[in-house]
Structure 1
Amino acid sequence: MKVVIAGGTSGIGLATAALLAKEGAAVTITGRNPQKLEQALATLPDTAQGACVDAADVNQLKTFMAATGPIDHLVLALSGAKGAGLFKDLDLTQLREGFAEKFFPQLQTLQSALPYLTAGGSVTFITAVSAQANMPGTAGLGAINGGLEIMVPILAKELQPLRVNAVSPGVVDTPWWSFMPEDTRKAAFAQFAQTTPVGRIGAPEDIAKAIGMLIANTFVSGQVITVDGGAGI
């Protein structure tokens, strides 16, 4: 089983790479930062490979896909942190940059991979519960992630028999939150944990297990799987 994880150098993408490599998959991770890529590969089994690819550059994507060849499963873990804030103060330039960091790179990566994805394979988008949470201050993030999620069932029909799904994580302790000072981040995590029936925030490994399930279960397509500790109940 050959898996490409776009944006696999940290957080959920890296946890997914570790899980799948441990299960015997031939995993290739991509990222645009050579140093982060090297550091990520150092934590993975020797069988894992990596490539420095800027997913905002279509030519780089096409070159990488052609060199990689047939792919069984594609995981789209590309992300960004721009686009948050109350709407009345929302910087729309920042929101455009948020789309440029996540929405378009995920779609460009999928388009570039289509000629190489095997018919019985799968694509898994990683979105976020901001698409569904209706929480003040997340309209921009919700637009980015909601835009991806609304495409999932449509693409599942267009691209069949290729399976297309998404995992929509809740609050997960990843480097995505590095824009917050550590004390503020810890306080926010503690507050979020109180809103979940499971009594904690998520770990990258929690989301990786859901992605692994979607890869393994050939009877699931067109679905957005929410993994938020029950916070949305």
Structure 2
Amino acid sequence: MLLVIDVGNTNIVAGVFDDKELVCHWRFSTDRSKTADEYGILLRSMFNYTRMPMDQIKAIIISSVVPPLIVPLCHMCERYFELTPMVVGPGIKSGISLRYDNPREVGADRIVNAVAAFDKYSKKGMPMIIVDFGTATTFCALLPTGEYLGGAIAPGIGISTEALFQRTAKLPRIELIKPKNVISRNTVNAMQAGVIYGFVGQMDGIVRHMKEELGGNAFVVATGGFANTMAAESDSIDVVEPFLTLDGLRILHEKNSK
């Protein structure tokens, strides 16, 4: 079995694949201060909870946009799994051509998402736009030939909402759910309407402009924590892939293990 670990700025998502099937997955907060042992004990508790034997893990792959966590996570893998993990970074074979001014600037998560989208949807023969609703909202353009063209990066929904709470005296923290009406009659619903419909408008606008630059049409794949919420309010998204990044890690491991 393969353990995949995706380290984001806010959350770490881990999953276990049995061949191509994702058999279990977990999400926990990213903490730069945690040690290798703390992450090892945390993962062990999750394996125990799902009754998944840790000794069944035969390989591990990690992608991270938080460089300080790569070393402790690698040490964790060596100590608790007795395995040296594969780390997504320069030199790894992806099958994707990065047409970026400085390819080293492309986040590991964007590369992994592109690998998964290319594997799943390149046969459609049309450009792809990958929208990832994470700490930042990223928009990536990918040709069906495997050429990664770049994209756009915007503040994420969660951090934008948190900034609204922290920088205003009377606005509360809110649950990010769709209100009944855009014209809201209370502050919480008004904030929900502004955030949800504001980000839908931002997404639709960026996707529209990217489609124009790509020749008028593209297949849009959404992933990340708010993908389903955004897809419910927009016609821009063609498919939601909640585990796109984990699938991409599995595919990368296959490509680099042959």
Q: Give the TM-score, by structure 2 length.
A: 0.39
Q: Give the TM-score, by structure 1 length.
A: 0.42
Structure with greater helix share of residues = 1
Larger radius of gyration: 2
